[in-house]
Amino acid sequence: MTTTRRTMHIKVFSSCRGISFLMWIMAFHLVLSVSGVYSVKSTKDCKLLSHSPLQQKVLERLEPLVGKNFTAEDKASNESYTYVFQLCGDAGGAPNAGVIQVDKKLQKTTVIGKYTHTQAIGGSDWVMLIYTNGEKYDAHCNKEERKAIIMISCDRNVKVGKLEVGLEEREKEENCFYLFELDTSSVCPVIESKLSTGSIISTGSIILIIGFSLLAVYLVGGFLYQRVIVGAKGVEQFPNYAFWVEFGNLAADGCDFVCRSRKREESPAYRGEATDNLQEEPEERDDQLLPM
């Protein structure tokens, strides 16, 4: 009896531990979902300054770039800066920052533009993305807010290229900006499939090459099989010799039937009559009728 109770206590304790473990897992997943770790990022996370279906459609062309950090080094100036760009996401982990500037010497991060203040302008093979509401300048551009312009251009040779620093325009009183460039095939227009004369000729050439290659394989392979395996000699080494002879005869008969307009007399041999019974009639000699 005591052993049975102990077994029951062990089973109850094990089941309680299993339930507790499952509850901890569910709670952990819930916390991750709330914190945004499992959240799916998209271009809808960008907040447009003015709601426009056209701008939203332009953003959707950049969907393959979402969730990726693009880094660029400023090699043009003497200052050592690193720029980080992310489409509709926290660049370098900075909240709401679409583009940040990292000063390596001072270990300082400056927000250039926020994806919560976005503009999107698109053409046939390019998209210009504008992030505004960045941190204010200290002494330039009348201390206005920084702004980032990312020029995304079509390049069919690369899926996603490298981020390049274009320039920083800050020698003005207003409308200063940081310009970046990025190449990708995501903004390239779809090529419509049209058969041109050149493509037709090219396709025909490929078909001819394939046909001649198969014919060569058939002839060489069949010849070797007939000679080595079957032991054929002479014209019988040709693969499927009997079939092609019969096919040639049938083709000739068909051509003769279609192309000739006048009915041809059949020879006795073709009608199946023996030629042995056909003998030349003896010449009539009228020598006896002549007077002596």
Task: Output the CA torsion sign for 244, 246, 252, 255.
Answer: negative
Residue written as token pair 């083709």: 251
Contact yes or no for 236/226 (Cβ under 8 A): yes
171 near 137, Cβ under 8 Å? no
Phi-psi region of 88 (alpha: psi -120 to 50; beta: other; left: phi over 0): left
Sign of CA dihedral 59, 61, 65, 71: negative
Please count the other Cβ atoms lying within 10 Å of the Cβ belonging to residue 131: 29
Tens digits of residue pLDDT in 30-42: 544 444 444 567 8
How many CA atoms, within 13 angstroms, populate the side-chain half-sphere of residue 184? Answer: 21
d(C-alpha 264, C-alpha 96), whole Å: 95
CA–CA dist 279, 281 (Å, integer) = 6
What's the pLDDT band for 176 if we cut at 50, 70, 90?
A: very high
Among 154, 134, 51, smallest CA distance to 94 is for 134
Q: How confident is the model at residue 279 (pLDDT cuts 50, 70, 90)?
A: low
Higher pLDDT, 24 or 145: 145
pLDDT over 70 (residue 274): no
The mean of the pLDDT values for the chain is: 79
Q: CA angle, corner 86, sides to 85 and 89, nearest 5?
A: 140
Residue 106 — pLDDT band, cuts 50, 70, 90? confident
Return the beta strands (E) in the chain as ranges.
69-73, 81-86, 97-103, 108-122, 126-132, 148-154, 164-169, 177-184
User: For the segment 74-97, what is each residue's pLDDT rounded down to a tens digit?
Assistant: 866 667 899 999 999 999 999 999
- Whole-prediction pTM value? 0.56
* Mean pLDDT (whole number) for 127-153: 95
Averaged pLDDT for residues 89-117: 93
Q: What does the pLDDT average to over 256-273?
A: 59
Strands 164-169 and 69-73: unpaired
Phi, psi of 71 (to 5 degrees): -115, 140
Contact predicate 131/113, CB 8 Å: yes
- The three-point CA angle 107-112-115 to 5° equals 125
Query: pLDDT-based confidence at 205, cuts 50/70/90?
Result: confident
Residue 41, pLDDT score = 77
Q: Choose the most confident range, by mean pLDDT, from 107-116, 237-246, 255-264.
A: 107-116
Checking DSSP bridges between strand 126-132 and strand 177-184, what pairing results, if any? unpaired
